[in-house]
Structure 1
Amino acid sequence: MLRRRSVLILGVVVLMAFDGLWLLHRQTRAGPPVTHIELDSLAMVVPTRRPAARLVDGRWDMDPRPDTERPFPGLPRLAYVSLAPDPTLGHAVRMIRDLRQRGICNVLIREGGSPSGVLDFPGGRDRGLQIPALVLCGEAIGDG
């Protein structure tokens, strides 16, 4: 009985050592950085008629870069994009990777919004869409 227990303990120690070496090898190996996406506490209200950039067959139908105007002084600009015409997780991942490659860090995704009633916008009255900001890289805008 003592011999079996010793062999079992030795086996567990060896497996743990291999597991630790494998993890160390995986962390030191060069590769793409880990993607981190953060839901920010900041939410913007946009008019529902405002067009959003869409990624269709690997190409953007309009420039996804943020507007030149800032929503508030001191805040970074936010890109406004849509998952249409393919609102799936795979499409969202492709879109987020493309935005990160372009260095676009702060994004509003239209499909993540909720109605907020009729409001006065610079272009006239329209139904509002309140959308939480996503941080794809860099620092959080709000209190994150």
Structure 2
Amino acid sequence: MARGRECSIAEALEVIGERWSLLALREVMLGERRFNRIAENTGASRDILAARLRKLVEAGVLEKRQYEDHPPRYDYLPTEAGRALQSILLGLMAWGDRYVHNGPPPTVWQHACGAELKPETVCASCGEPIGAPGTKPLRIGAVR
């Protein structure tokens, strides 16, 4: 039976490609670290959120750090891999702001320079945006 094309996108979606995982990551990127606040702000049920956070920790996207002994309570902090997802989340947010959400963006990020952050993916060599005419794959993953 064919399993589809070998692809980093498919592999990444195995880790983060679920609504509650992405919303939990959004909350961590917004500075929420505690389970109760993440649950409150995402609307996820406690059992689903616990499972998603556990998966993100096991995948090395988040780090779980104990801050209280009795009962044990934990903060969730982004690892290097988690911080690297910020540009993906910002890109998804920008797409939603432009094509899905009606009205002004509900969340605005500020860059370290003080300007409003407007994410854009560009070529590291020439600076042209992704999607410019002539953008094409160099290699395509093999079908499994």
TM-score normalized by structure 2? 0.25
TM-score normalized by structure 1? 0.25
Q: Please tell me whether Structure 1 or Structure 2 has the larger radius of gyration of its CA atoms.
A: 1
Q: Is the strand fraction higher in 1 or 2?
A: 1
